[in-house]
Structure 1
Amino acid sequence: MRHFDLTPLYRSTVGFDRLFSLLDSANADAPSYPPYNIERTGENAYRITMAVAGFSEKELSLEAREHVLTVKGDKEAEDESRSILHRGIASRAFERRFQIAEYVRVDGAKLENGLLHIDLVRELPEAMKPRKIEIGTGTSKQIEAQTH
């Protein structure tokens, strides 16, 4: 019997809590730059943290559209007068997409110490929230049929 590791499926979805309706994120060729974490910060709160060292706020853009959060980084042209002997800090452009669940919205984003923090909140509409149903005490109402 084969054992399938589904860990890659959990990487780029937020708010589904391991219930996946879209399995296209299971690509083995998924890009690994820039590295990121997804964490749950509350019952209905999440945070994506991306390591974007070397990028400024104006070089980064976020867009949420139709259950997809897109983070792009476009690096401005470097100074050609510098001679770099070893390049260990990547400065290439990137585009990272995250599938987000219905009713999950981006609450804010901030860049600090080379890390981009994106806060997400799941807000269920009132009709979707659980509600308490009162149980009757045994007195039932009878409906009398009228005959003409």
Structure 2
Amino acid sequence: MNAFDFSPLFRSTIGFDRLSRLMDTALNAADASYPPYNIEKLGEDQYRLTMAVAGFGESDLEISQKDNALVVTGRAAKEAEPRQFLHRGIARRAFERRFELADHMVVDGASLENGLLHIALRRVVPESLRPRQIPIGKGQPQVIETRAA
């Protein structure tokens, strides 16, 4: 049995549509293994996605980010002259690989070298969402910021 029914979970929740899509993607992603890829953590907030795209040039690849989705698409150009292969082990078939990104993740850039596509990612948390230190004083609590309602 490969199908899971999450409808009881979503009967009592509101606004978890993204969680539902994420679960569906995770369950269906087991079939997709082309092209192979690595995800590395380079630092506290820096990551690198590396995909093996042998046979693809820069003009054959497209990288896009919309909301929390990173999409890497590869379409091999048609060969001008047909060739006869005795063995074809390098797959140049078209692909579309989707990655769900966490909140505040941005793509810093991409490079293609030696058949490997490197995509640099970084987490940029806004100052308003970062933890802050609250000073402890004596007597009455100190007002840090006031706003008119």
Tell me the TM-score range normalised by the shorter chain: 0.7 to 0.9
TM-fit CA distance, 1:112: 0.5
- In structure 2, the partner of 1:33 is 34
TM-fit CA distance, 1:121: 0.5
- In structure 2, the partner of 1:144 is none
Q: Where do 1:116-131 residues align within 5 Å? A: 116-131=117-132
Q: Unaligned stretches of 5+ in structure 2? A: 1-17, 142-149
Pair 1:111 & 2:93 matched: no
TM-score if structure 1 supplies the norm length?
0.76
| SS of equivalent to 2:128 | helix
- In structure 2, the partner of 1:72 is 73
Structure with greater Cα Rg: 1
| SS of equivalent to 1:23 | helix
- More displaced stretch, 95-104 vs 78-87: 78-87
- In structure 2, the partner of 1:82 is 83
Give the CA RMSD over aligned residues. Answer: 1.7
Q: Greater RCO between the two (CA within 8 Å, min separation 6)?
A: 1
- In structure 1, the partner of 2:140 is 140
TM-fit CA distance, 1:101: 1.1
Select the structure that is richer in helix. Answer: 2
Amino acid at match of 1:139: G
Q: How many residues matched?
A: 121
Q: Structure 2 CA distance, aligned partners of 1:103 and 1:84?
A: 46
TM-fit CA distance, 1:75: 0.3
TM-fit CA distance, 1:79: 4.3
Q: Structure 2 CA distance, aligned partners of 1:59 and 1:81?
A: 18
Q: Structure 1 CA distance, aligned partners of 2:68 and 2:25?
A: 13
